[in-house]
Structure 1
Amino acid sequence: MKIEQAINQRKFKDDYHKVIVNLLFTGNWLRDALGANLKEYDLLPQHYNALRIIKGRHPEPVSAGCIKEVMLDKASDVTRLLDKLEKLDYVQRRLCPHNRRKMDINITPKGLKLLEDVEILMDNFYDDLAERVTAEEASVLSDLLDKIRG
């Protein structure tokens, strides 16, 4: 569906305005679709992102600051995200032995299992995208998005 139909707008000021509206609309659409996939696990996309970051450093611990630096959603409250993940036993926080002002965060076996289960849903999500966009188109789009960010 064209962006004009999706938001019921016939005309844009110019193609630059149209692409910004389309990016925002599509970003929200993706967030909502990912959220729907994660809902059965009582997770938000931000929780999933944080878990993937922590898993990426596994078995080494990671700090909340390091997680915040690379989160896709920079507005996320990392402390609150970690509180929930710890409550669900997906991560474990411990005082850093070398710096008592810092917390070391590790993923638990339960968190690793969760990511393994969610990976199946995510693969289906990516497969669905692959039915609508070729690998070459995805690569070009990714390059264009990089270019937009400068």
Structure 2
Amino acid sequence: MKRKFDSLSQEAYLSIWRTYDRLKAIEERFFAPFGLTPQQYNVLRLLQGSESSVPTLTIATRLVSRAPDITRMLDRLEQDGYVLRTRSQEDRRAVLVSLTPEGHKILGEIEAPLEAMHADQIGHLSQKELRQLCELLSKARKPHEPEGSNW
């Protein structure tokens, strides 16, 4: 009988990848009716948690997953009326991004259904299991995070 995996490391990695794929499918179906992608939502949440406008490059470094074209993503969010971009008065090369009232409104609409989606995704795990999962994922990710990462 042929082994399913070449190593335990490979099995763990592929299990993480498969889990990501299954949970991401739920997430993409969730955000579609709001006209957002998960990454666009991530940008809006980052801006909501900020006390002031945030430089574009700072947003790019704080996203949960890398965004190869942050400018295009911000173009779309601005076109939809969710964000406002302005030039920094101190450094005219820097573009600052802030959340608009419409951005706050869409986040308010998403909040409760999003909580229900997360319960659907991983609500079958106990609080203890969730803590263990977070700790193990953090430990696996840590050597690969950029220096100074908030993760």
**Partners of 2:23 and 2:121 within 8 A in 1:** no
1:93 to 85, 90, 102: 85
Identity across matched positions, percent: 29
Relative to structure 1, the CA distance from residue 50 to residue 95 in structure 2 (aligned partners, 3 Å threshold; closer, same or farther) is same
2:24 aligned with 1:35: no
Runs of 4+ in 1 over 3 A off after TM superposition: none
Cα displacement (A) at 1:103: 1.0
Write the letter of the residue equivalent to 1:49: N
Deviations 1:4-31 (A, max 9, x none): xxxxx97112221111001111112222
TM-score by length of 2: 0.87
Could you tell me how far apart the structure 2 residues matched to 1:108 and 1:10 are? 54
Relative to structure 1, the CA distance from residue 74 to residue 131 in structure 2 (aligned partners, 3 Å threshold; closer, same or farther) is closer
1:104 to 91, 96, 101: 96
Deviations 1:39-94 (A, max 9, x none): 00111001000111111114x10011010111111144111110000000000011
Structure 2: state its 5+ residue gaps: 143-151
Relative to structure 1, the CA distance from residue 10 to residue 134 in structure 2 (aligned partners, 3 Å threshold; closer, same or farther) is farther
User: Aligned runs of 1:1-150 on 2, under 5 Å?
Assistant: 11-58=4-51, 60-150=52-142
- Which of 81-90 and 69-78 deviates more? 69-78
Write the letter of the residue equivalent to 2:12: V
Structure 1: state its 5+ residue gaps: 1-8
Cα displacement (A) at 1:146: 1.0
- Please report the RMSD computed on the Cα atoms of aligned residues, expressed in angstroms: 1.6
Number of equivalenced pairs: 141
TM-score by length of 1: 0.88
